[in-house]
């Protein structure tokens, strides 16, 4: 009863390369998909398992992506991408087994309806979790205008959602230079005026440059603070409801609560 566990890098390319390698192994060695597993990190070595490392490979990942988009459709592909951005340790396994389930069905785009499959259900949960975090980041992200005219935003999301904010903000602010900085992962997404958006990793934000905010910035922060404060109706005060919609851990980078 040999189980082969593939350890992949914690990124979309890494996981999809892992899927490719695990698939090859499952079919070639006759083990079948049930005896192959995918993990992003070694949590606890188990008995009767062999562990294999896989390095991310753009070509293999590209092949998997093409197959997914063709056979399972864009909606399922988007769901899998969201699930892969999650921080849960079992995401790789859920994604791998969902792909197995999807490609074994005649109508692959229906795989997410197969709620009886525990891995599909887990994938849907992860997607829902990441999707709602993306929506809340879109809501609560705040830009500060620097003296150079660049708009700087700092976020610290629980899941790795930085990439999904790019299309929305570059469509919304095409004529602005902006930078969104993920403080916990040290990644940045930046956009130049009238150009496309890009991401960079392993960055440190220069505290001096980030501190130089423009003169009007304080003024507009004060205006907005006063606006939020005035618009509440005192006889309907309900702090618990406010906390339910706007959790406390978002509030440190929002000027109206800081």
Partner 1 sequence: MRRKNICLIFIKNVDIIEHLFYYISMEREREELSEEKKTEYRTAGSTGEDAEENVESNIEESIEESIEESIEGNIEGDAEETAERNAGYGCREIEERKELPAAGPRSGEALVKAEGGELPVMEKLRILTDAAKYDVACTSSGVERKGSGKGMGNTKLAGICHSFSADGRCISLLKILFTNYCIYDCKYCVNRISNDVERTAFTPEEICSLTMNFYKRNYIEGLFLSSGIIKNPSYTMELIYTAIWKLRNIYRFEGYIHVKAIPGADAEIIYRLGLLADRMSVNLELPTAEGLRNLAPNKNRTTILKPMRQIQNGIVSSKEEVALYRHAPQFVPAGQSTQMIIGATPESDYQIVSVAESLYQKFALKRVFYSAFVRVNEDKSLPALPGGPPLLREHRLYQADFLLRYYGFEAKELLSEERPNFNVLLDPKCDWALRHLELFPVEVNKAPYEVLLRVPGIGVKSARRIVRGRRLSNLQFDDLKKIGVVLKRALYFICCNGKMMYRTKIEEDYITRNLLDTDNKRPPQPDIINGREVTYKQLSLFDDVTWTRKKLADIR
Question: Is 66 a residue that touches partner 1 (CB under 8 A)?
Answer: no
End-to-end CA distance of the chain: 57
Dihedral (Cα; 165, 170, 171, 175), 10-degree rounding:
150
Q: Which stretch binds partner 1 (CB under 8 A): 7-15, 52-60, 84-92, 113-121?
A: 113-121
HSE-CB at 251 with a 13 A cutoff on CA atoms is 11
Q: Binder to partner 1 among 198, 241, 249, 258 (CB under 8 A)?
A: 241
Q: Which stretch binds partner 1 (CB under 8 A): 54-62, 81-89, 141-149, 197-205?
A: 141-149
Nearer to partner 1, 2 or 234 (CB): 234
Name the minimum Å distance from CB 148 to partner 1: 15
Nearer to partner 1, 2 or 237 (CB): 237
Q: Which of residues 152-171 bind partner 1 (CB under 8 A)?
A: 153, 168, 171
Q: Are 26 and 36 in contact (CB under 8 A)?
A: yes
Pairing label, strands 178-182, 151-155:
parallel
Residue 181 contacts by C-beta under 8 Å, 6 or more apart in sequence? 152, 153, 154, 155, 187, 188, 203, 205
Classified as helix, coil or strand, 141 is coil
Element holding 30 (H helix, E strand)? none
Name the minimum Å distance from CB 141 to partner 1: 6
Q: Which of residues 177-236 bind partner 1 (CB under 8 A)?
A: 194, 216, 220, 222-224, 226-236
Euclidean distance between CA atoms 58 and 16, whole angstroms: 9
Nearer to partner 1, 35 or 71 (CB): 71
Q: Binder to partner 1 among 59, 204, 206, 237 (CB under 8 A)?
A: 237
Euclidean distance between CA atoms 187 and 207, whole angstroms: 15
Residue of 128, 142, 60 lying closest to 94 (CA atoms): 128
Name the minimum Å distance from CB 103 to partner 1: 15
Question: Is 245 a residue that touches partner 1 (CB under 8 A)?
Answer: yes
Q: Binder to partner 1 among 67, 140, 163, 166 (CB under 8 A)?
A: 140
Q: Binder to partner 1 among 144, 154, 161, 189 (CB under 8 A)?
A: 144
Classified as helix, coil or strand, 50 is strand
Q: What is the CA radius of gyration of the chain?
A: 22
Interacting residues with partner 1 (CB under 8 A): 110, 113-116, 121, 125, 135, 138-145, 151, 153, 168, 171-176, 194, 216, 220, 222-224, 226-242, 244-246, 254, 256
């Amino acid at each position: 009863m040999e189980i082969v566990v593939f350890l992949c890098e914690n990124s979309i390319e890494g996981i999809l390369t892992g899927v490719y390698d695990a698939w090859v192994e499952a079919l070639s060695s006759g083990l079948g998909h049930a005896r192959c597993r995918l993990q992003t990190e070694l949590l606890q070595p188990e008995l009767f398992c062999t562990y294999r490392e896989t390095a991310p490979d753009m070509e293999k990942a590209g092949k998997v992506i093409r197959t997914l988009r063709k056979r399972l459709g864009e909606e399922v592909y988007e769901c899998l991408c969201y699930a892969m951005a999650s921080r849960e340790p079992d995401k790789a396994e859920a994604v791998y087994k969902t792909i197995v389930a999807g490609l074994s069905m005649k109508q692959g785009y229906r795989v997410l309806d197969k709620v009886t499959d525990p891995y599909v259900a887990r994938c849907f949960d992860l997607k829902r979790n990441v999707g709602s975090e993306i929506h809340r980041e879109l809501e609560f992200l705040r830009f500060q205008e620097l003296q150079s005219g660049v708009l700087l935003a700092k976020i610290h999301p629980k899941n790795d959602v930085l990439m999904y904010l790019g299309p929305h903000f570059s469509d919304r602010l095409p004529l602005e230079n902006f930078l969104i900085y993920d403080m916990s992962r040290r990644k940045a997404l930046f956009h130049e005026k009238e150009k496309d958006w890009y991401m960079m990793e392993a960055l440190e934000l220069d505290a001096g440059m980030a501190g130089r905010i423009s003169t009007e910035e304080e003024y507009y922060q004060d205006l907005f603070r006063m606006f939020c404060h005035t618009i509440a109706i005192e006889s309907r005060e309900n702090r618990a409801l406010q906390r339910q919609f706007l959790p406390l851990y978002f509030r440190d980078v929002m000027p109206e609560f800081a």
